[in-house]
Amino acid sequence: MKIAMLVYPGMTPLDLLGPLQTWSQMPDTEIQIVWKNTDPVMTDAGMDVVPTHSFADAFENPDIIFAPGGRKPTIDLTQDADTMAFLKSRGENAKWVTSVCTGALLLGAAGLLDGYKATTHWAAIPFLEGFGAIPTEGRYVIDRNRATGGGVTAGIDFGLAMVAEIAGKETAQMIQLAMEYSPQPPFKSGTPSEAPPEILQKVLDGYANVTA
């Protein structure tokens, strides 16, 4: 299993690390962390991610191409010709075209979600239609060979769902157990419908400058 996972300045690291941790436990899997070059990439959490491969030497025919999300840097990246060309070329050859969070907007901007059901972070769902996708709410959405995850923490659910598709349900369950993935959050505030109205408004206010 050959997997190419995009990274870029300003991305959200957990978007990457959730599926990376699950997929790295599949047998016979080789994962490349890919950017334009192999210099360290600063994420929005203040930590560097070091690419293992550049666009030039990444898999030409990956089994999975993956894009993580973020805030304004992700929106800006939709206008980056080199990144769009890389995603388009690999996406056209990949068995699976995938993303977590606003990484779906990158896939959409590369022309890879036209006519496919897709999800993303709840605050970015309205943007999907502009890229030709069919906006669909969910922790993850699989439509033919397109698989997209919701916001940030949904990457683990998405990652395990992909393992089940590729390597079988038993393998996915084994990985889930090995990761001790049994979420019990201290608050029921993880979706707009669950969060208290004042909390939702404060988060929306914080997102107001994302596309500014």
Q: Which domains does the chain have, with CATH numbers?
A: 2-184 (3.40.50.880)
**Which of the residues 3, 5, 34, 101 is marked catalytic?**
101
Express each pLDDT in 67-79 by its tens digit: 999 999 999 999 9
Express each pLDDT in 86-120 by its tens digit: 999 999 999 999 999 999 999 999 999 999 999 99
Where are any strands of DSSP class E within 150-205? none
C-alpha 106/C-alpha 76 separation (Å) is: 10
Positive/negative CA dihedral, 91, 60, 1, 78: negative
Give pTM, 2 decimals. 0.96
Q: Check if 54 is active-site.
A: no
